[in-house]
Amino acid sequence: MSTKQWSPEDLSRIIEMAWEDRTPFDAIQAQFGLTEAQTKALMRQELKRSSYELWRQRVTGRNTKHQALRSKEVIRAYCATQYKPK
């Protein structure tokens, strides 16, 4: 997997989505066509080692990162206050 195929804006958005607790890997796949494994590989490639390890600890076992494991009460991919009107 090469990051050359992604614009800087898309690459930034993929990384942002991967870091967000409520954004499942399925949403990244739907928007950018990256599987969970490909997203992990991209994160490993783009982040510093310590940042990647921190991210992996954060997402490992997190139900909200996997659509099938999410509570039915979670109906959106982001916090209601995350995107504030300008």
Which has the higher per-residue pLDDT, 60 or 11? 11
pLDDT band at 21 (very low <50, low <70, confident <90, very high): confident
pLDDT for 37 equals 94
Q: What is the largest CA-CA distance in the chain?
A: 38
DSSP helix, strand, coil percent of the chain (3-state; round to 5): 60, 0, 40
Distance CA 55, CA 71 (A): 22
Tens of pLDDT along 45-86? 999 999 999 999 988 877 767 666 555 665 555 555 555 555
Domain residue ranges in the chain? 3-69
Average pLDDT of the residues of the chain = 80
pLDDT for 23 equals 86
